[in-house]
Structure 1
């Protein structure tokens, strides 16, 4: 039996950062990773880094094959770097294999060459999430049907790409592949496009996608998928549609199915997410769950913050928790980028507060004209009485950088006038925040 002070299951952002931190203070740590192609976690290998590399290269009009080669080189470099960041530490053992619990302190690792049992005083689960495939006939067996991971490994650009699901993942891939030259069709089962967004923002996004040649089909009831002449045929309520590749972008669920959590006394909810308290501790006192696997927002930066909470529990004052988080932003890396923080207009109006809503077009921003992309809109919601910013949506180039400035002001509890009167460099996209918040009366 191999004994460790900490066993970490999964090489994601929270897990790898915790492993290095604990090792540097002398803990003996084992980190278990099911696949040697996943060192560093989802973001580096099949998420943020490869997709954003491709988004950049699509915008730069790089040929698809060359972009895929560059993406692979970037991912390979970062994966190797992440492996050595842990494997080269004195107190860390990196163990390849699939982990499952025997009990709350014992983990079996199923390796290619046999099995290994580990005992851990404390155990941390960081296995991330996996793609969800709807129960559609032929979807899981038809050649040419991919999840996002599979699509990122294509070597040839599909002339016609279908995307099953019109959420944020679908939108990001649609914009990317359209820029590379694919004819993209989004099949969305709902009657509304991007229902989580305010209608004016959703309509602006749809217009941008349509202008890129992307077709959006709402109320698309796909009953079956089949193969025809090396293509993928979708059987919909309005007839047959044929594409060369089909991306299933129907969401992701926590990756817990093979962990045998019940043997460790770890409870999950109806979606398979591990139930945790505000300190990320599970129903087993010595086990924590971090990142996507605990059902929280599926962002790398949330996984990193999960690490901070656990670090404070183990090595700090034990006070930091999930309730400390304020105003979590997100960005969808279509072109131009959609970024949001705080409330949507519909949410703000539902509170009954006295609010002001202001909007300005991205075309009014000098820097947008310099960058030759004037598409999009900027929107802000402010409480008239307190002058607090309630929410901001930015659909414009570089919004993924701008939204962090807004977050800092909101977290500090500062009035909107800070952004209205701030001195920004010129010409920049950030200085448009002066103009946006000057519209508040």
Structure 2
């Protein structure tokens, strides 16, 4: 049995930076990854990086070849090839960055607990047991596959991971699920020229957002030819001679409908990836959703076993995973003051076209909590930079506390929203009032100078 100071299960964002940090401090580290196609984790291989690369090229495709499906098909195929080269480069770089360290050992195999301190790794040439003083679980999440008749038998059903491997642009993409992943893929494939149909089970589009923002997003997406059906329940999937047919019903009256397509994307959420870990052997508990239970410092129910990233539940963002690493580093080597509460509120972005970004509370939340506040709205077209970019769709919205002038929340649905939201986040987290952004000197022309107008209330 091999002894290590630390065993890290999963080669994701938190795991790889923690391995480097511990290595720099002289720890003997073992990192276990089940697939040689996942070095670096989901983000550079199947999630953030490849999808954002495709979204960027979809916008270019729409600009250059809108209405010419043949040219867009050719561009899509070339884009997939470029995406594959990018992910391969990042995967190799991530592997080399750790493998070259003398006190880091990478095992490509499947890990499971034997006891609270012992891990069994199933390797291609046999099993090995590792013992660690500290153990870190960083196995991420996996798509939720709903119980739809025929879903397992169909050769046209994909997840957000497997759809990225298809180099043939579908003429008609059916998306089951209207959450943020589904919306990003809808915007992407519509940009490449596919017909896109979204089937959402809820009776409200984008329920996490204010109604005016959701309506604006819906209008923009429908203008791009995306069909959005609410209150639906997917019932069956059947392959045909030239594609696939999905049968769904309207939840309110059970009326059946049929939709034919070339591919179906299942985007009904993700769940923590704990299968095969044998957590009970270590005494590590999970909640009702299968997420590993942790305290505010990311320790599990067994103090020397930690969980980082998506596997512990909560928002599934790479930058959360990176911050998990910072919390653990502080617990191991710092003053032990950092915890998961330090990062609230956290901004996020949805990379539709134009992107949607948000931080803090919404207007509807502020009303429910009884706050005294004012609302500022600004059409994206009011920002002159949107005209030079030819991206005038969208709106900007802010919630401001009437008593102290602090920014309570902000939603940006406009060009460059994913960048501008970071400016708002810094203003909020440094305790600035709305007048700080109202009077700040931004470059011109830029989308960020729209904050001058947005906060001039």
- Fold match (TM-score > 0.5): yes
Aligned to 2:68: none
- State the alpha-carbon separation in 2 of the partners of residues 299 and 320 from structure 1: 19
Aligned to 1:399: 417
- State the alpha-carbon separation in 2 of the partners of residues 174 and 140 from structure 1: 22
Report the CA distance between 1:241 and its aligned residue: 1.1
Which of 253, 261, 265 does residue 279 from structure 2 map onto?
261
- State the alpha-carbon separation in 1 of the partners of residues 303 and 342 from structure 2: 22
Aligned to 1:247: 265
Aligned to 2:166: 154
Which of 425, 438, 457 does residue 420 from structure 1 map onto?
438
C-alpha contact (below 8 Å) 1:128/1:291 kept by paired residues: yes
Instruction: State the superposition RMSD in angstroms.
Output: 0.8
- State the alpha-carbon separation in 2 of the partners of residues 383 and 58 from structure 1: 39
- State the alpha-carbon separation in 1 of the partners of residues 360 and 439 from structure 2: 21
| 3-state SS in 2 of match to 1:49 | helix
Aligned to 2:322: 304
| 3-state SS in 2 of match to 1:339 | strand
- State the alpha-carbon separation in 2 of the partners of residues 432 and 69 from structure 1: 37
Q: Deviations over 1:172-206 (max 9, x none)?
A: 00000011111000011111111111111111111
Report the CA distance between 1:350 and its aligned residue: 1.2
Matches within 5 A, 1:45-124: 45-61=45-61, 63-124=75-136
Q: Deviations over 1:364-399 (max 9, x none)?
A: 111110101100000000001111100000000100
Tell me which moved more, 138-147 or 386-395.
Answer: 138-147
Report the CA distance between 1:239 and its aligned residue: 2.2
- State the alpha-carbon separation in 2 of the partners of residues 279 and 396 from structure 1: 36
- State the alpha-carbon separation in 1 of the partners of residues 276 and 415 from structure 2: 41
Question: Does residue 1:409 correspond to 2:421, yes or no?
Answer: no
Aligned to 1:22: 22
Report the CA distance between 1:3 and its aligned residue: 0.5
| 3-state SS in 2 of match to 1:189 | coil
Aligned to 1:436: 454
Aligned to 1:295: 313
Question: Does residue 1:282 correspond to 2:294, yes or no?
Answer: no
- State the alpha-carbon separation in 1 of the partners of residues 225 and 326 from structure 2: 43
Length-normalised TM-score, structure 1: 0.99
Report the CA distance between 1:268 and its aligned residue: 0.1
| 3-state SS in 2 of match to 1:60 | helix
| 3-state SS in 2 of match to 1:278 | coil
- State the alpha-carbon separation in 1 of the partners of residues 155 and 273 from structure 2: 24
Question: Does residue 1:336 correspond to 2:354, yes or no?
Answer: yes
Aligned to 2:2: 2
Gaps of 5+ in 1: none
Which of 231, 249, 256 does residue 243 from structure 2 map onto?
231
Length-normalised TM-score, structure 2: 0.95
Question: Does residue 1:384 correspond to 2:402, yes or no?
Answer: yes
Matches within 5 A, 1:342-381: 342-381=360-399
